[in-house]
Amino acid sequence: MSKVTRWAKRVGHSTTETLGDLRCFASGYREFKKSGMTPQGAYSSMRRLYRKTNGRFNDAMGSLCKALHRKRSSDLSQSIFENVSRDEVRRVASSIRRDGFHVFDRKLPTRACQKLLDFSLTHPAMPVTLESSSTTEKTIFDRSNPQSIRHQFLADELFQNETVQQVATDPYFFSIAQDYLGFNPVFDILAMWWSAPTCNQELQSRAAQLYHFDMDRLKFVKFFVYLTDVDTHTGPHCYVRGSHKRKPAALLRDDRLSDEEVRAHYLADDLVELTGQAGTMLAVDTRGFHKGKPLERRDRLIFQVQFADSLFGQNYPLIHVPTDIATPMAERILSNRRCYANLALAGNK
């Protein structure tokens, strides 16, 4: 019996189509290990395998990752958050395992929030419009007259900012991600964006304001920080409690879902709006159904970092580390190159 067939039996699917996706995934993963790039066919197979096995394939791969990439120690005393303990890290990770998300009791320090807000109002970002293309020019977000539903900052430019570097590499976030995933994780996605109101459903879909699940990687967890006050009218993150585990078969498709479709399969109490003042932090496994609720008024600024099992999946550009990065962040990057494989050091391509 081949390894692929054994894997198929392990996740409960041994149809010809599923075996083909497993072979494509395995071949693509070998290519990824050589080149650092994921073939599109293998990425598509990964997404299909998630749906066909209702997440069991991803969980099996996560177990393998635990065996290959043991947890690493981290110095929580270097965190920008005060009085962080290992017990707190375990409690947060347990909360994510249970519900798929966690709203932190603590907030991002006010000074860091202000610095990120200042950056967002003085640096250009990519607007999302119906006409958006590769030639779209970056503009500075105008809070008094927003010209798009979403203004997305480029990760490479974000990481030039020292506050971004501090937050993105903070040992508190790393430790929670590691405890939740069960292995030494890879720092993956770095993002920050402004959102503004719109009634256009196509734009809402492009701005992730309809229910969906993420599958850019096999296993991952995201950290969101609200940098403006967020209430029910200003685009709270919405999550379906427990949907990061298994999903109803009728909803297992790679598409955006209406509120009505989701409500038909879950209890009302499980559809949660996560609101909070500026500085509020969320940890979320976005394999679960989620969306940004469409804004009805004002605007919203969000900062996000993600940790994953590896960089296999969606191909994103490397994030370049500035030569003058402060010593604490540089030491974290150099001491755990697996975790920070997505960060290109000066002199490296």
Domains of the chain: 3-53 (no CATH), 76-344 (2.60.120.620)
Mean pLDDT for the stretch of residues 297-308: 96
Residue 230 has phi, psi (to 5 degrees) of -125, 120
DSSP 89: H
User: What tens digit of pLDDT does each residue of 154-173 get?
Assistant: 999 999 999 999 999 999 99
Q: What is the mean pLDDT of the chain?
A: 91
Give yes or no for a contact between 278 and 109, defined as CB atoms under 8 angstroms apart: no
Kind of pairing, strands 319-320 and 343-344? parallel
Mean pLDDT for the stretch of residues 89-96: 98
pLDDT at 1: 42
User: What tens digit of pLDDT does each residue of 37-65 get?
Assistant: 999 999 999 999 999 999 999 999 999 99
Grade residue 177 by pLDDT with cuts at 50, 70 and 90: very high
pLDDT at 17: 82
User: What tens digit of pLDDT does each residue of 250-268 get?
Assistant: 999 999 999 999 999 999 9
pLDDT at 279: 98
Which three-class secondary structure state does DSSP give residue 320?
strand
pLDDT at 285: 98
Grade residue 207 by pLDDT with cuts at 50, 70 and 90: very low
Q: Is the pLDDT of residue 125 over 70?
A: yes
Tokens representing 270? 């499980």
Work out whether the CA dihedral 184, 72, 189, 105 comes out positive or negative.
positive
Strands (E) across the chain are located at 101-107, 126-128, 150-152, 186-195, 220-226, 237-240, 271-274, 280-284, 290-292, 300-308, 319-320, 343-344
Measured CA to CA, the distance from residue 121 to residue 141 in angstroms comes to 6
pLDDT at 209: 73
